[in-house]
Structure 1
Amino acid sequence: MKPYLVFLLLLLPIFSFSQKNVTAKTILKQEAKEIKEIKKFQKELNEEYLNPKETPLRGDNFTHFKKHPFFPVDLKYRVKAKFVKTENPVPFDFPTSSGKTKSYQEFGKATFELDGKPYTLTVYQSLDLMKMEKYKDHLFLPFRDATNGKETYGGGKYLDLKIPAGDSIILDFNQSYHPYCAYNAYDYNCPIVPEENKLPVEIRAGVMYQDIYHH
């Protein structure tokens, strides 16, 4: 065997190890960035509920509030979903907890895998918010899962999204939260999660629920 071939063969394991090391570092860096985003969401949500001008909490619920309980951050629940935009959506009246309705339209379907099984959720767009510059790219994902009524609010949870540029969208359930009605059903009317967005699995991510809230 020629000397330069022997040299190349000796280098292969080193090169392979180096590539794996770089890949591992890249993954860890990306995960650290994602966890930082989740922690930022948690901090901002707590600040909102501690702010008397923004909080939905009233009376003793506000007085006793310190911070939200959250499930431990788990990137398993941050999934990349295939996104199919709904063509020619028809506006409809979204039923709410107060019996009134809000104007929405279906924006698309997000299909993802969790523990090897596929699930699809419908994503919506508020006709009122889309007229506002600040929220013109805002999407709304209400969902229910097997934790509702136990560790999370019985009526389900919400996830805020932005219009994706391509045919995929990130669903980070670590940033899911309860509707205001979970804490104050008297002053708010919240969209009711449609049956098609009920997941038969536990989504152990995002905000948990406490029994101190009287609704």
Structure 2
Amino acid sequence: MKYILLPMLIFLVFGCSQKKHSLKGQTEWQRQTNSNFKDASKSPLKAKDLKNFTGLDFFDFDSTFVVKAILERTPNSEWFNMKTTDDRLSKERIYGILKFQIKGNPYQLNVYQGEENMQTEGYEDYLFLPFLDDTNGNISYGGGRYIDLRIPNNDSIIIDFNKAYNPLCVYNEKYSCPIVPRVNYLDIEIKAGMKKFKKL
């Protein structure tokens, strides 16, 4: 059975609302994420990795990577098929361009809206922010990471890179994960969020 991006959102958001025994983690988001990974009923981990799981590796929380971005909406953008890690195609469109600064330097990322999410109750305002950076393949997953966002009421939005997470296919090849578009490369080390997963 193949899974798409939506289950990861359910896993991270709704799973976090349940009271579970917290594992290690510097922030509440890290602890709740570790708790969800430890829970066999929802964990994406394979049995052999779950057996000895004590927690994911995260960068230390860094407020430098909590940024306020200006959202430039692109209402006339065309739908396209975003490639994934298997033969599935995810129908997406560029919802807008996020412009922000880190350490005084300007950056921008495309933020995407998926057709399936728009048609799913409770996820109509979900936005998908995949990105690549200079930690990839070294201390973070080589294929990039994801951040979940919601459509704001105005033209500004907070991006918290401390909540950047790995695609589910990092943990189990049964998942189908969108491939981060090259245009969303940041020429900087984003030392925040999840690090590379160390398989057993």
TM-score by length of 2: 0.84
Q: Which amino acid aligns with 1:190?
A: C
Unaligned runs of 5+ in 2: 1-25
Task: Report Cα offsets for 1:45-98 as digits up to 9, x if no partner.
Answer: 112211212111112111121111111100000000111111223211110011
Residues of 1 paired with 2:92 and 2:197: CA distance? Answer: 30
SS of 1:165 mapped into structure 2: coil
Q: Which amino acid aligns with 1:106?
A: I
Residue 31 (structure 2) aligned to one of 17, 29, 43 = 43
1:196 aligns with 2:183: yes
Residue 101 (structure 2) aligned to one of 107, 110, 113 = 113
1:61 aligns with 2:49: yes
Match of 1:87 in 2: 75
- Give runs of ≥4 in structure 1 deviating > 3 Å: none
Match of 1:183 in 2: 171
SS of 1:128 mapped into structure 2: helix
Q: How many residues align?
A: 175
SS of 1:66 mapped into structure 2: coil
1:209 aligns with 2:186: no
Q: Which amino acid aligns with 2:62?
A: D
Q: Which amino acid aligns with 2:120?
A: M
Residue 133 (structure 1) aligned to one of 121, 142, 160 = 121
SS of 1:84 mapped into structure 2: strand
SS of 1:196 mapped into structure 2: helix
TM-score by length of 1: 0.78
SS of 2:166 mapped into structure 1: coil
1:96 aligns with 2:88: no
Q: Share of identical aligned residues, percent?
A: 40
Shift of 1:138: 0.8
Task: Report Cα offsets for 1:121-162 as digits up to 9, x if no partner.
Answer: 000011101111221111100001000111110000000001
Task: Report Cα offsets for 1:19-42 as digits up to 9, x if no partner.
Answer: xxxxxxxxxxxxxxxxxxx82321
Shift of 1:200: 1.2
Unaligned runs of 5+ in 1: 1-37
Residues of 1 paired with 2:178 and 2:61: CA distance? Answer: 26
Shift of 1:167: 1.0
SS of 1:103 mapped into structure 2: strand
Residues of 1 paired with 2:146 and 2:67: CA distance? Answer: 16
Q: Greater relative contact order: 1 or 2 (C-alpha under 8 angstroms, separation 6 or more)?
A: 2
Bigger share in helix: 1
Whether contact under 8 Å (2:95, 2:112) holds in the other structure is yes
Whether contact under 8 Å (2:170, 2:197) holds in the other structure is no
Shift of 1:176: 0.5
Residues of 2 paired with 1:41 and 1:126: CA distance? Answer: 24
